[in-house]
């Protein structure tokens, strides 16, 4: 045998061995992989919230994989729903069509969540909602497949209403939202709180989601003489309205809203006029608990470009709930076993203990208020706007 032939034989033999090794390891990996889906607005106008949630969700899964607790590897299929219904439905179909999927967690926007829920129900794949807050998403018909670890729009608006209506005493309200189901839900939730206190808003507007020119609304607010403006929308409209109110000379008011606005983008887009914006945020003040502080440190140590948003802890918590449910499946998680395990789960995470009621809604409800102070979100109680503080809200 010539040297050249020998070399060629050795080369092909090596290739064969490498092929066997790779093939073998793939086969092993395929047998030991369990997949979960993640859906959220990773790009689009709500990307600040969606991308941070994706980071937190995958971080929790990665920690579980590192722990070596499970005899399988958990793999995440990420779907960017772009905050739109049709993309969300296509993403849901992509997830449920994977035979290794045992559960999914998704959605920050209520519209896409509502559109995709039938896909998960039909495929009998459990979906745990981490961020969409429209109240009707969890209901009797959706049990046992649909659960939610985040609060509803009603649960978010109640603490805000108590603060601004009962404690601060504002009565002259102009309320604004977008026409999406998220905006509509918030508008109705806050109106219900006003009605419960026999207050009729002196103005009300719902704007299309792609609206960037809100100057006509600003003129209406100005003419109405409102002392407080409620915005039940997300960051794009929320920040634009605040800036244009400021530009239009409507500065001496209370401007408040919902968690959809509590993002870093709000601070950037709203810039200086964002000062004094009061927003309700779901969950607890993470810095106040050991578990919360640990999460902040862990998240920040990863070098993500997206900071922690209002629902980032909920996405992390959702992953913890799925992991806990996998434990309950005794090493053999299937979609069917996970459906029941999620609904029956009792998970103590970074925001307390989460259990679900008869319609799949979390029983762990908490919310707190934040204010923009010097270009940063600060918990109201720790800010200079708190009672007797150095700064005051407008409209008084």
Name the residues that contact other proteins, by CB under 8 A.
43-45, 47-48, 82, 179, 204-208, 210-220, 222-223, 235-236, 239-240, 243, 247-248, 265, 268-269, 271
Name which of 179 and 359 has its Cβ closer to other proteins.
179
> How many whole angstroms separate alpha carbon 361 and alpha carbon 139?
8
Q: Tell me if 267 sits within 8 A of 274, measured CB to CB.
A: yes
Name which of 84 and 93 has its Cβ closer to other proteins.
84
Q: Least distance (Å) from other proteins to the CB of residue 371? A: 21
Q: Least distance (Å) from other proteins to the CB of residue 26? A: 30
Q: Which residues pair with 33 in a beta bridge?
A: 73
- Residue 340 burial class via C-beta count within 10 angstroms: exposed 0-12, middle 13-18, buried 19 and up: middle
Q: Least distance (Å) from other proteins to the CB of residue 116? A: 19
Q: Least distance (Å) from other proteins to the CB of residue 46? A: 9
> How many whole angstroms separate alpha carbon 156 and alpha carbon 80?
25
Q: Least distance (Å) from other proteins to the CB of residue 360? A: 31
Name which of 47 and 320 has its Cβ closer to other proteins.
47
CA angle 10, 13, 14 (to 5 degrees): 85
Name which of 210 and 330 has its Cβ closer to other proteins.
210
Name which of 259 and 347 has its Cβ closer to other proteins.
259
Name which of 144 and 248 has its Cβ closer to other proteins.
248
Per the rule left: phi > 0, alpha: psi between -120 and 50, beta: everything else, 374 is left
Contacts of 118 (CB under 8 A, 6+ apart): none
Q: Least distance (Å) from other proteins to the CB of residue 274? A: 11
Q: Tell me if 37 sits within 8 A of 77, measured CB to CB.
A: yes
Q: Least distance (Å) from other proteins to the CB of residue 79? A: 15
End-to-end CA gap in the chain: 98
Containing 76, the helix (H) or strand (E) segment is strand 73-80
Nearest in space to 298 (alpha carbons), one of 49, 56, 13, 15 = 56
Q: Is the peptide bond before 144 cis (omega within 30 degrees of 0)?
A: yes
Nearest in space to 190 (alpha carbons), one of 153, 233, 228, 139 = 153
Strand, helix or coil for residue 138: coil
Q: Least distance (Å) from other proteins to the CB of residue 262? A: 15
Name which of 147 and 234 has its Cβ closer to other proteins.
234
Name which of 137 and 245 has its Cβ closer to other proteins.
245
């Amino acid at each position: 045998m010539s040297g050249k032939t020998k070399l060629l034989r050795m080369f092909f033999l090596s290739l064969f061995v490498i092929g066997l090794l790779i093939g073998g390891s793939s086969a092993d990996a395929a047998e030991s992989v369990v997949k979960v889906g993640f859906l959220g607005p990773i790009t689009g106008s709500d990307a600040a919230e969606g991308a941070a949630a994706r980071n937190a969700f995958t971080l929790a899964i990665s920690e579980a994989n590192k722990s070596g607790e499970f005899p399988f590897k958990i793999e995440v299929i990420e779907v960017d729903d772009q905050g739109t219904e049709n993309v969300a439905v296509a993403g849901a179909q992509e997830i449920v069509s994977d035979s290794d999927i045992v559960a999914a967690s998704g959605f920050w926007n209520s519209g896409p969540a509502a559109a995709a829920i039938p896909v998960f129900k039909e495929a009998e794949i459990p979906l745990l909602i981490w961020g969409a807050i429209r109240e009707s998403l969890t209901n009797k018909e959706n049990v046992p497949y649909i659960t939610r670890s985040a609060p509803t729009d009603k649960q978010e608006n109640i603490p805000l209403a108590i603060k601004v209506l009962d404690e601060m005493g504002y009565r002259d309200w102009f309320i604004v939202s977008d026409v999406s189901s998220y905006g509509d839900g918030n508008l109705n939730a806050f109106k219900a709180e006003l009605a419960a206190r026999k207050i009729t808003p002196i103005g009300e507007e719902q704007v299309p989601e792609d609206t960037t020119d809100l100057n006509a609304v600003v003129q209406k607010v100005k003419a109405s003489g409102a002392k407080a403006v409620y915005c039940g929308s997300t960051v794009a409209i929320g920040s634009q309205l605040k800036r244009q109110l400021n530009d239009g000379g409507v500065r001496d008011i209370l401007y408040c809203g919902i968690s959809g606005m509590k993002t870093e983008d709000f601070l950037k887009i709203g810039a200086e006029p964002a000062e004094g914006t009061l927003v309700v945020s779901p969950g607890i003040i993470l810095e106040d608990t050991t578990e919360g502080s640990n999460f902040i440190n862990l998240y920040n140590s990863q070098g993500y470009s997206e900071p922690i948003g209002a629902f980032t802890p909920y996405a992390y918590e959702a992953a913890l709930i799925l992991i806990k449910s996998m434990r309950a499946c005794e090493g053999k998680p299937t979609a069917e076993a996970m459906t029941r395990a999620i609904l029956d789960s009792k998970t103590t995470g970074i925001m307390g203990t989460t259990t679900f009621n008869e319609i799949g809604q979390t029983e762990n409800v908490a919310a707190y208020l934040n204010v923009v102070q010097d270009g940063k979100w600060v918990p109201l109680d720790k800010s200079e706007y708190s009672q007797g503080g150095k700064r005051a809200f407008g409209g008084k």
